[in-house]
Amino acid sequence: MTGTQRLSFGSTTMLFSPTREAALQRLHDFVPRAGRAYANSRNYDDGPPDSEARQNVSQLSPWLHAGIISETEVLDAVLAQHGPHAAEKFVAEVFWRIYFKGYLEQRPSIWPAYCEQRDKALGQLDANSGLKTAYDQAVGGSTGIEAFDHWARELVQTGYLHNHARMWFASIWIFTLKLDWTLGADFFLRHLMDADAASNTLSWRWVGGLHTKGKTYLARPDNIARYTANQPSGPLSADGLAHEAPALEEAADHQKQALDLPQSDAADLHGADYALILHDEGACHMAMNLPHPPKLVLGMTRPEARSPLPVGETARNFARSAVETGVDQAGDAFGCKAKLLGEGEGLQQSLGQAGLQTVAFSYLPTGWTRDALLPELMGLPDAVNIVPLLSEVEHATWPYAKAGFFGVKKKIESILGEVGIDGSSLDAAE
């Protein structure tokens, strides 16, 4: 059976509705499975995201990325039901997300270096027809490697891939197809609903041996067959894979920079009247810890900034709708004016009309959302007070995200205690 014949991915529009209600429902449904069941079964890629079969992972990443639900809420709900020991694996995975963000904050040159290499690699496709054909086959799911083609199409059609599939896919892209890793990372960013500059870029670098220097990930057919055994059409085959994964090399040395963090949460607001900006990585006020209601809500969604190439419809719609819905809900909740602002569209004017001198927004981590919005924020007059709001758990974790994940892992228990995540606030799960 060919990869094409196997494919019947349903629409994920209903499954991944970009609303707070859908996120809470997903969390509620998943919490009972977040303990030992998760630890034992999380590596199985059991089927497309719309299938009932895929119950072994939370699929919460699109909502977490958009800031519709927070890491704190997810951790709290899971710990309330399972306790730290049984939920250890799931908790650690959530901390991988926080770790990657903190790591990229401290080595921010990785992001522009990625963008530069991607643009160069895209230019090479125009100049080299053989390379262009290989690239088109990879992103079109027609390489002839059944498993790889399956995931390429699943990603484009659904906007989601299982973690293990992402690892195998990236490994085959780099070591078997020998395509530039940044083009694969770009393909993911254009189509993943959870596309995240830190988790994606650093995971691709991890597979290629650039994150943990010299340590690579080799996809093996027997491993793929084992962990895809429960797919609706049986295990996926992957013939002709590379037998070796020699580490990629790079000339740049991405030096660690000191973190320059804002105070956690909303301490800097000092009771000021402010406009709340909702964006693609902070789209919902209910997942934020606002000290008092804003006087104005502005939505600034820029999913196209992920790549110079077109962004997939599923991912784009998820991001846009998340901010649109967030703006409507915040306007209703706070009884204030709420509107969307297109690129370069009257931020200063909107603040002036409302008589506001302060803007607050969920912290913009290194990546394309920051690249797209920072120039507009920096263009505001000096008198405007710009207040990024960083969650307590990120504030407490990022200082440990200096090198490998182990530096964070050994601190998880104390961080949870420090920021008061102990399963005692059950609102999110109920």
Ligand X SMILES: Cc1cc2nc3c(=O)[nH]c(=O)nc-3n(C[C@H](O)[C@H](O)[C@H](O)COP(=O)(O)OP(=O)(O)OC[C@H]3O[C@@H](n4cnc5c(N)ncnc54)[C@H](O)[C@@H]3O)c2cc1C
Query: Can you give the binding site for ligand X, defined by CB under 6 A?
Result: 42, 57-61, 64-65, 93-94, 96-97, 100, 162-163, 166-167, 170, 188, 192, 194-196, 199-200, 203-204, 207
- Environment class of residue 142 by beta-carbon count within 10 Å: exposed (0-12), middle (13-18) or buried (19+)? middle
Name which of 95 and 334 has its Cβ closer to ligand X.
Answer: 95
Least distance from ligand X to the Cβ atom of residue 226, Å: 18
Q: At its nearest, how many Å lie between ligand X and the CB of residue 198?
A: 8
CA distance 297 to 274: 9
Distance (Å, whole) CA 71 – CA 93: 11
Q: Where are the alpha helices (DSSP H) in 7-145?
A: 20-30, 36-41, 61-66, 71-86, 88-106, 110-127, 129-140
Tally DSSP H helices, then E strands, for the chain: 19, 5
State in angstroms the smallest separation of the CB of 335 from ligand X.
33
For the CB of residue 257, give the shortest distance to ligand X in the complex, in Å.
22
Least gap, CB of 351 to ligand X (angstroms): 32
Query: Which of 14, 378 has the CB closer to ligand X?
Result: 14
Spell out where 124-274 has E strands: none
Q: Would you say 3 or 208 has its CB closer to ligand X? A: 208
Closest CB 19 distance from ligand X, rounded Å: 17
Nearer to ligand X, 59 or 358 (CB): 59
- Nearest in space to 199 (alpha carbons), one of 360, 10, 365, 420: 365
Q: Which residues pair with 47 in a beta bridge?
A: none
**Shortest Å distance, C-beta 99 to ligand X:** 8
**Residue corresponding to tokens 């084992």:** 226
Report whether 367 contacts 198 (CB < 8 A): yes
Looking at beta carbons only, is 24 or 269 nearer to ligand X?
A: 24
Between CA 146 and CA 238 the distance in angstroms is 6
Which of 199, 301 has the CB closer to ligand X?
199
Name the DSSP class of 32: G
Q: What token pair was written down for 42?
A: 């999380």
CB nearer to ligand X: pick between 94 and 323: 94
